[in-house]
C-alpha cells in the first residue's frame, strides 16, 4: 500500500478545499493503475465530501451547514471561537473519510465530481489529509 500525508492550509475562514488535483498527483507519483484511493482526515472538526465544484455548490454546502449547525452558544462543547462546538459535530454529517475507485491510473469520478475537504473550524488553520492507495 502506498500512503502519503498532505498538509492543507485552510486559514481562518470556513472552507471547502478541492483535493482532486492533489489526489491525481499522488496517483501519478505512485504509478497507480487499478485499486482504491482512500482519504482520511485525522481531525475531530473536518470532513470529506464528493461534490460538484465551481458552480456555487461549495458556498451552498457551507450555507446548509450554517442552517443545520449554527455557530452560536447553544453547544455544550464551548472552547475556542464562539459556536466552535458545532465544528465537533461536522464529522457526524460529513465523514472524515472517502474512498474513490482508481481505474487506468485515474480517479473514477463522475464528470462533475471532485473530492473536497470541508473545514468549518476557524481555530485550526492547517489540516492533514492522508491518501492511501490500495492497489488492485
pLDDT tens, position by position, 62-108: 999 999 999 998 999 888 888 889 999 999 999 999 999 999 999 99
Residue 117: pLDDT over 90: yes
Give dist(CA 118, CA 132) in Å, integer.
19
Q: Which domains, ranges and CATH numbers included, belong to the chain? A: 2-135 (2.60.120.460)
pLDDT at 81: 83
pLDDT at 82: 82
Q: Is 18 exposed, middle or buried (0-12, 13-18, 19+ CB in 10 A)?
A: middle
Give dist(CA 58, CA 63) in Å, integer.
9
- Residues 80, 108 contacting (CB under 8 angstroms): no
The band of 46, judged by pLDDT with boundaries at 50, 70 and 90, is: very high
Q: What is the pLDDT of residues 53-68, one digit of tens each?
A: 999 999 999 999 999 9
Exposure b/e, 36-47, CB count within 10 A at least 16 = b: bbbbbbebebbb
Report which DSSP code applies to 45: T
Predicted TM-score (pTM) of this structure: 0.94
Is the alpha carbon torsion for 118, 9, 42, 14 positive or negative? negative
The mean per-residue pLDDT over the stretch 29-45 comes to 97
Amino acid at each position: 500500500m502506498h500512503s502519503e500525508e498532505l498538509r492543507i492550509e485552510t486559514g481562518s475562514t470556513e472552507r471547502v478545499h478541492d483535493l482532486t488535483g492533489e489526489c491525481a498527483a499522488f496517483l501519478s507519483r505512485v504509478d497507480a493503475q487499478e485499486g482504491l484511493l482512500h482519504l482520511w482526515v485525522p481531525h475531530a472538526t473536518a470532513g470529506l465530501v464528493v461534490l460538484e465544484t465551481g458552480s456555487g455548490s461549495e458556498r451552498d454546502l457551507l450555507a446548509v451547514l450554517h442552517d443545520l449547525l449554527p455557530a452560536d452558544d447553544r453547544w455544550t462543547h464551548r472552547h475556542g471561537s464562539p459556536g466552535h462546538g458545532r465544528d465537533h459535530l461536522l464529522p457526524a454529517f460529513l465523514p472524515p473519510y472517502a474512498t474513490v475507485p482508481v481505474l487506468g491510473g485515474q480517479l473514477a469520478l463522475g464528470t462533475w465530481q471532485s473530492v473536497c475537504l470541508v473545514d468549518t473550524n476557524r481555530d485550526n488553520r492547517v489540516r492533514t489529509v492522508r491518501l492511501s492507495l490500495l492497489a488492485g
